[in-house]
Structure 1
Amino acid sequence: MENTSFARETRISDTPFLSLNPSTLEVIGEVVNTSREEIDAKIEKAKKAQKLWSARPDTERKDILLKVAEALQLHSKELAEWITREQGKPLSGPGANFEMQACVGWTQVPASLDLPEEIVFEDDTRKDVLYRNPIGIVAAIAPWNWPLMIAIWQIIPSLRMGNAVIIKPSEYTTFCSLEMIKVINSVLPEDILQVVTGRGEVGGYLTAHPEIGKVMFTGSIATGKKVIEASAKNMARLTLECGGNDAGIILPGLDIAQHIENLFWGAFLNMGQTCACLKRLYVHENDYEKITQALTDYCSNIPMGNGADESSVLGPVQNKMQYDKIQDLISDSENVDAEFIFTGQKPDLEGYFIPLTLIGNVDNGNRIVDEEQFGPVLPVIKYKTLEEAISKANDSETGLGASVWSNDLDEAQKVAAQLEAGTVWINQHGAIHPFVPFGGVKQSGYGVEFGIEGLKAVTVPKIISIKK
């Protein structure tokens, strides 16, 4: 294994680095880059463990995963506190406690689903049966925005179908991830779930390893393309969720009072650091003042601060890299004479806080509209005709989610059918569900997660064809 070409190509630094609390910039701990030798050893252990795990009866694997859900529930309070400390999202509102409940639910659902063999063809002369076999070892590359929830999306379906998993959490949210893996491994058999830590070169070595049969990745388009390149070395199957620049279209005459709460959280959940957040809002010119005033009024009442403070509903941006990117987009908007409809109060704290910001007098072609800001900034764009709004909404290299907001559900569905996205929500945004497949189009990636289709994605189909 040491003599393979990818081992020589990939260099992993032995220099550790710090993890910070984004609310206070206090040091949480020192993160170590897992060495190539350690990764090789973990993969060898995973190969042996996977054979034993996949040989267990299906009902036994289901029961074990349900016990994992119980363990996550039992430790949800302390894990939520770890999320808040390292990722930054508040304990209150749809924050860290919300994330932990999602972890429990997204563990229970795959454990409850069945994917039995299927007779795909039968006549008097033959019978063809489709079976779903485990792939082997799944490399899971998790992001920093929902570090535990998205890790669960990758881990649990893979284990459910008999695979072993080696997960690399984001270097920005290592310690909360390690704490959750510790809880899960208190229930699982040894070595069926292992973790490596460090920067991108650790993930690069892992994903290109010849023993990896599947890579599940959530992150940026740029890194997603590197994962695709790495998979050329081992022909690993891929599920890629590379973010999006989700558009929302408000149809004329919307009763905004009825929808303002869903609209706000559709855009600003987790400080806008959610792949399927609403990141571009198209509003008919006749409704522009009404909609922007409603958003301003709602934003004015949302407290921001240290996530450990029970009064905080929004927290900081997670890391300096993302903070600088968002500030650059705000500066660019100032330079093009955009209208700053609303700018919230920034907490008097040391962390990476960016106040809620609504920006108008911008359009497609402005960076704040064309680039995924992934933060608490929402551009609001006027349109004259519905055809114009649809065209501008589709004018993006990404296509993860989109939404249509209307009093008329029939009209909303007609518009939804024309939007280029993996999911189009009506009168809601980002409303994912563990039974409902989720994935993107264009450069948002390919493959789906969740539900039966998500289980299929971590298996290989096998046909047994019988001549009668």
Structure 2
Amino acid sequence: MSDTTTTSLLDAITVPAAEGRAIPDAATGETMGHAPVHDVEHLNRAVAAARAAQPAWAALGHAERSAILHRTADEIDAHAEELARIIAQEQGKPLNGPGARFEAGGCAAWIRNAADTALDPEVVFEAPGTRSELHYGPLGVVGAIGPWNWPAMIAIWQIAPALRMGNTVVSKPSEYTPLSVLAVAELMNRHLPEGVLTVVSGGRDVGEGIAAHPDIDKVMFTGSTKTGRAIVKSSAGNLARLTLEMGGNDPGIILPGTDVKAIAENLFWGVFINTGQTCAALKRLYVHDSQYEEVVRTLADMAASMPMGPGLDESSVLGPLSTKQQFDIVSSLVEDARSRGARIVTGGEAAPELGPHFYRATVVADIDDGARLVDEEQFGPAIPVIRYTDVDDAVARANASDQGLGASVWGSDVAEAVAVAQRIEAGTVWINQHGTLNPDVPFGGVKGSGYGMEFGREGLKAVSAPKVITV
């Protein structure tokens, strides 16, 4: 264990350049540190250690495990600024607003929620002379595979409930953002028993190894649908339980008569949180013809005025795309829209004066279904705004995607909005907001966005082995 009194958090998790892989600052491209390079052999050792540590961890009981988790949350709070700066550099999100400090604070909040959520035995049947109870115990070893967009917080969404229920965890972060997850684990492991939580900082071979490993009982994955399908195939041999959150092309529908000024701020952040790099961000917006231009202009004005810059700049509100790959995807989708005659109201171009992966916040109008920017998940700061005249048609178009993570309905008549929400095929439908998550409220997708629930009681059940005891 590192000397926590003299060593910075970044120094505690990085390795010498000769032994590791350079991790760039997302805004500048300059090396911020070196991550260890782990392979399948490291994974096998981690799983063996997790398997050995699991019985004793489970035997501590819920109260003691929860107390330890609270201490890990306190540790994260004590180093929240250091953690936030690592996230801001590595992933690119600004420190302020719904950014890196928000993510660091969210890690501690989600740990405490998992520690405090009750999951008592349920009486499912009772009659004279007999009673059946549903109990929940640990599964064993959980393999957690995380993404690069909210690396620390999504890792905690996987780790915290698994540990709370008595499982041990082997976590594999994205190759693009390993330092954020290594930092969270470093802080937590100052209080956890050895072997209970291990981060394996490897590549695709490690992810494939987790999915197929005979000693892993549960796989939790957040990432692309393509990779999720591969995990399903790989897990067939060991029959590991799965929770898959595979992103989405989230639609929003603005109903006629909506007070646009009242929803403007929530609408903007529903689209542009983390510079659009959020699974449950609003990705395509359907607006009634009667208010189309007002919505387009409102969004465009806000997008053009939001300060964009490096994550460590205190004045930044929007940051860069995390990787060149994602920058190229966003650029390609916007150029395709332009070639189809769509109207680029604001943005639509790189901002090279800010750094290599900056793309200006973009609002695209006069575009329709069939354009790549509408049909494909852009995962960046570019929103297509699609005109409609009939609500039934808007619902049908919203449901046409093979993904179904989140959706939103916007309107001044909440009852009408809820009625429309009932018809949308998505795991979560928000009213007059989009992408807001609550650790007490279950979250998960349908269709190509995956299956299984996270958060709250349902999230604890997802990392548990149910057992019926009939007396």
Count of matched residue pairs: 453
Aligned to 2:15: none
C-alpha displacement of 1:17: 4.2
Are the equivalent residues in 1 in contact too, given 2:375–2:401 (CA < 8 A)? yes
Q: Distance in 1 between matches of 2:338 and 2:412?
A: 34
Alignment of structure 1 residues 174-185 onto 2, 5 Å: 174-185=178-189
Per-residue displacement from partner, 1:314-359 (whole Å, max 9, x unpaired)?
1000011111111111111121111101117826133310100011
Deviation digits for residues 273-306 of structure 1 (CA, Å, limit 9, x no counterpart): 0000000000011211111111122112200011
Give, as a single letter, the amino acid of the residue that structure 1 aligns with 2:55.
Answer: K
Q: Partners of 1:401 and 1:36 in 2: how far apart?
A: 35
Write the distance in 2 (CA, Å) between the matches of 1:191 and 1:46. 5
Find the partner of 2:52 among 44, 48, 54. Answer: 48
Q: Which residue of 2 aligns with 1:143?
A: 147
Deviations 1:198-256 (A, max 9, x none): 21111111221000000000000001111111111210000000000000000012111
- Deviations along 1:386-425, one digit per CA (max 9) or x if unpaired, are 1111111111000000000000001101100011000000
After TM superposition, the structure 1 stretch with the greater mean CA deviation from structure 2, 25-34 or 367-376, is: 25-34
Supply the distance in 2 between the matched residues of 1:217 and 1:442 (Cα, whole angstroms): 16
1:77 aligns with 2:90: no
Look up the match of 1:362. Answer: 367
Q: Is the 8 A contact 1:435 1:450 kept in 2?
A: yes
Q: 1:323-338 counterparts in 2 under 5 A?
A: 323-338=327-342
Are the counterparts in 2 of residues 69 and 104 from structure 1 also a CA contact under 8 Å?
yes
Match of 1:277, as an amino acid?
A: A
Counterpart of 1:249? 253
Whether 1:425 aligns to 2:430 is: yes
Separation of aligned partners in 2, 1:410 and 1:349: 45
Find the counterpart in structure 2 of residue 411 from structure 1. Answer: 416
TM superposition score normalised by structure 2: 0.94
Q: Please tell me the residue identity of whatever aligns with 2:203.
A: R
Aligned partners of 2:415, 2:468: CA distance in 1, in Å? 42
Contact 1:168/1:195, CA 8 A, preserved across alignment: yes
Deviates more, 1:135-144 or 1:170-179: 170-179
Give unpaired runs (5+ residues) of structure 2: 1-18
Question: Contact 1:31 / 1:171 at 8 angstroms: preserved in 2?
Answer: no
Does the 8 Å CA contact 1:33/1:202 hold for their aligned counterparts?
A: no
Match of 1:407, SS state, is coil
1:189: how far off?
1.1
Tell me the amino acid that sits aligned with residue 387 of structure 1.
Answer: D
1:294 paired residue among 298, 316, 324:
298
1:133 pairs with 2:137: yes
Mapped partners of 1:188, 1:92: distance in 2 = 30
Q: For residue 10 of structure 1, what is the aligned residue in structure 2?
A: none
> Is the 1:304–1:347 Cα contact (8 Å) retained in structure 2?
no
Whole-Å separation in 2 of the counterparts to 1:308 and 1:16: 24
Whether the 8 Å contact between 2:364 and 2:384 is mirrored in structure 1 is yes
SS in 2 for 1:257: helix
1:311 has 2:334 as partner: no
The percent identity for this pair of structures is: 50
| Equivalent residue, structure 2, for 1:446 | 451
Distance 1:67 1:30 in 2: 28
Structure 2 distance, partners of 1:437, 1:17, is: 37
Conserved 8 A contact 2:39-2:202: no
Matched with 1:90 is 94
User: Offset at 1:127?
Assistant: 2.2
1:108 aligns with 2:112: yes
Task: Tell me which residue corresponds to 2:9.
Answer: none
**Separation of aligned partners in 2, 1:129 and 1:393:** 41
**Aligned pair partner of 1:398 in 367, 385, 403:** 403
User: Does the residue aligned with 2:290 lie in a helix, a strand or coil?
Assistant: coil
Separation in 1, partners of 2:46, 2:116 = 29
Deviation at 1:31, TM superposition (A): 3.8
> What whole-Å deviation, never above 9, does each CA across 1:89-119 have from its counterpart, x for those lacking one?
0001110001111111111111111111222
The separation in 1 between residues aligned to 2:133 and 2:338, in whole angstroms, is 62
CA distance in 2, matches of 1:297, 1:375: 18
| Cα deviation, residue 131, structure 1 | 1.1
Moved more, 268-277 or 199-208: 199-208
Query: Is 1:458 the counterpart of 2:440 in the alignment?
Result: no
1:8 paired residue number: none
Matching of residues 202-351 of structure 1 within 5 Å: 202-343=206-347, 346=351, 348-351=353-356
Q: Could you tell me how far apart the structure 1 residues matched to 2:192 and 2:358 are?
A: 38
- Match for residue 194 of structure 2? 190
Residue 14 of structure 2: aligned partner: none
- Residues in 2 aligned to 1:211 and 1:267: alpha-carbon distance in whole angstroms: 40
Aligned to 2:8: none
What amino acid is aligned across from residue 464 of structure 1 in structure 2? I
Q: Which of 341, 366, 376 is 1:371 aligned to?
A: 376
User: What is the DSSP-based 3-state SS (H/G/I as helix, E as strand, rest coil) of the residue aligned with 2:147?
Assistant: coil
> What CA deviation, in whole Å up to 9, does each residue of 1:259-279 have, x standing for no partner?
101000000000100000000
The question of whether the paired residues in 2 share the 8 Å contact of 1:340 and 1:357 is answered with yes
**Deviation (angstroms), 1:465:** 2.0
Partner residue of 2:158?
Answer: 154
Give the AA of the match of 1:414.
Answer: A
What SS does structure 2 have at the residue aligned with 1:361? strand
In 1, the alpha carbon distance for the partners of 2:355 and 2:405 equals 34
1:88 Cα deviation after fit: 0.4
Q: 2-side partners of 1:27 and 1:297: how far apart?
A: 35
User: d(CA) in 2 for partners of 1:213 and 1:57?
Assistant: 20
Matched position secondary structure for 1:461: strand
CA contact under 8 A between 1:106 and 1:434: conserved in structure 2? Answer: yes
Residue 11 (structure 1) aligns with: none
Paired residues of 1:358 and 1:379 also in contact (CA < 8 A): yes
Distance in 2, matches of 1:465 and 1:169, equals: 41
The one-letter amino acid of 2:190's match is S
Is 196-205 or 416-425 further displaced after alignment?
Answer: 196-205
- RMSD of equivalent CA atoms: 1.4
Match of 1:434 among 439, 456, 465: 439
Q: Do 2:40 and 2:205's aligned partners in 1 also have CA atoms closer than 8 Å?
A: no
